[in-house]
Amino acid sequence: MSISSKASAGHFTILYFASASSYTSKDSEILQAPLPLSKLFETLEERYPGIKAKVLESCLVTVNLEYVDVTGESAGDQTIIQEGDEVAIIPPVSSG
């Protein structure tokens, strides 16, 4: 598994934690920027069929270490993932 990758021009980095990492078999990868936040789950679903329902819908999502709302009531916001951004997909981990 690649541990971390630096986004080149026109790209952003996406980090996968816990079950998102298991599902994609990756810790991170580089995707094309800009990408409207509202298209993020769709884009990932195309690459990893089934990931939306099985993983993404219960995840916390951050852009540059800040919480963003992808599916909730305020999801209407027009956030665009920009070149060089770091997006994190953080599923709940409940074991301990």
Partner 1 sequence: MESASASAQALREQIAATEARLQKLKDELAQVEASDAARYLNGLSLNGGPVTPQNGSAKWPLLNEEYQRYGRQMIVPSIGIQAGQLRLKSSSVLIIGAGGLGCPAAAYIAGAGVGTIGIVDGDTVETSNLHRQILHSTSKVGMRKAESAISYLKSLNPNPTYIAHTEHISPQNAQEIVERYDLVLDCTDNPASRYLISDVCVLLSKPLVSASALRTDGQLIVLNSPPLPPGNEAGGPCYRCVFPKPPPAESVVSCGDGGILGPVVGVMGVLQAVEAIKIIVEGKLAPSPEIQEGLKATPTSMLLFSALSPQPFRSVRLRSRRPGCFACSKDSGLSLEGLQSGSLDYVLFCGLASSANVLTPEERIEAAEYAKIREREHLLLDVREKVQFDICHLDGSINIPFSAFQGGAKAENDGKVPTWLPESLPKEAPIYVVCRLGNDSQVVTRKLKESGLDSGGKRWIGDIRGGLKAWKQQVDENWPEY
Contacts with partner 1 by CB under 8 A lie at 3-4, 17-19, 22-25, 27, 48-51, 53-55, 57-58, 60, 62, 65-67, 72-74, 88, 90-96
End-to-end alpha carbon distance in the chain: 24
To partner 1, the closest distance from the beta carbon of 8 in angstroms equals 19
Q: Is the CB of 9 or the CB of 65 nearer to partner 1?
A: 65
Of the candidates 47, 44, 59, the residue with the CA atom closest to the CA atom of residue 90: 59
Q: What's the rounded Cα separation, in Å, for the pair 95 and 43?
A: 29
State in angstroms the smallest separation of the CB of 1 from partner 1: 9
- To partner 1, the closest distance from the beta carbon of 23 in angstroms equals 5
